[in-house]
Chain A
Amino acid sequence: MSHLPPTRLSAQFPAFTRALGDDDLAALSRALTPRELAKGEALLVEGQPSSSLYLVTGGRFGVRVSAAAGPVIVATVGPGAVVAEVSFIDGGAASATLEALEPASVLALDRDAFDHLATSHPAVATRVLANVSASLAARIRAATDRFDTLAPIDAIVDDAPGILDRLYSLFGLSRS
């Protein structure tokens, strides 16, 4: 597969390419390496270090995590997905295994290519980091919300406009 034309890159990955102009997109596009995967091939392996970010351009991947009871497929991702952002930033272990469920294709942003981009087009690299940061922020908000349904409670607080206040006002009670 050849490089995606810049216009297709921004159409398929709007959040990742936000606020990048045509010349910026062309520079970013040149930093991306196309890669094909056969059905059953792993793009990422849970627990193994990774330092590339991947844009999924074709095919679907199963996202598998290990649990005490055995591996579980927690999601599938397809074209338009941006994966491995956390490892791209910190070079740490992949938090899940991504395996191609069918013949698939990705565009890889390797760390070396990104560092080269940061030298040749620093403003583009800074914008890409800002866009990845926005995605990480959204994932932190989502994870924090999930946390509420699972974590033990440290304290009941009444300084926040919570359900207790709504119940009190509903029944016309005053809080003493």
Chain B
Amino acid sequence: MPVTDLLRQNPHLSRLAPEHLDALDDAFVVASLADGHVVARQGDRGGEVFLVVEGEVEVSHVHDGQRRSLGRLAPGEFFGLVSLVDQGPRSATCTVRGPSKVAALSAGASALLFHTHAPIGHAFQRALASQLAADFRRVDARLRDLYEQRTSQA
């Protein structure tokens, strides 16, 4: 599915005027990636935000040489947002599973776009906040399950 259709399906971005949606679409650069390609590596610096266009992206976290999966992202989902928001290092590693397409929006392009087109900035900020809320609920739900497992085993 083209990036523009994915953006149009996002409930926050769908409210944008067609020319604003086109401008946002133009700022994304799409890459076709092979299975196992690491799009963002935990600990690295990077302010791009990514959109899953086709296929799947696995989010995992490494601690003391042990890797744990935080879940998988489907087309239409954004990732890389934590570093965009707080300018800190990547909080997790994002790896393509199966042949996939991922669109990237660079920090510079997004800053310029949102500065010159405030409505795009506002709509995108709503989309970002929604994705972050969904990400938090996903991690929180997994944590609760793990706590329950621990408690029932004890």
Contacts and interface: CB of A to CB of B under 8 A. Distances in A.
Interface of B is mostly: helix
Contact of A126 (B65, B122, B137, B152): B122
Given A129-B125, A143-B136, A148 B130 contact: no
Contacts of A95: 137, 140
* Chain B interface size, under 10 / 10 to 19 / 20 to 34 / 35 or more: 35 or more
Given A138-B86, A140-B82, A146-B143, A153 B68 contact: yes
A21 B8 CA distance: 33
B130 A89 contact: yes
A147 B150 CA distance: 13
A162 interface: yes
Given A126-B122, A143-B140, A147-B70, A154 B65 contact: no
A136 B85 CA distance: 9
Interface stretch (A5-13, A25-33, A75-83, A117-125): A117-125
B143 A147 contact: yes
A150 B65 contact: no
Contacts of B122: 118, 122, 125-126, 129
A147 B152 CA distance: 18
Contact of B136 (A126, A139, A150, A160): A139
B132 A148 contact: no
Nearest to A92: B137
Interface of B: 42-43, 60-70, 81-82, 85-86, 88, 91-92, 118-119, 121-122, 125-126, 128-130, 132-137, 139-140, 142-144, 146-148, 150-152
Interface of A: 65, 67-69, 85-86, 89-90, 92, 95, 118, 122-123, 125-126, 129-130, 132-134, 136-141, 143-148, 150-158, 160, 162-164
Given A141-B82, A153-B66, A154-B67, 4 more contacts: A86-B133, A122-B118, A147-B61, A162-B65
22 contacts: A90-B133, A90-B134, A126-B118, A126-B122, A133-B128, A134-B86, A137-B81, A137-B82, A138-B86, A143-B136, A144-B70, A154-B60, A154-B67, A155-B66, A156-B65, A156-B66, A157-B62, A157-B65, A157-B66, A157-B67, A160-B62, A162-B66
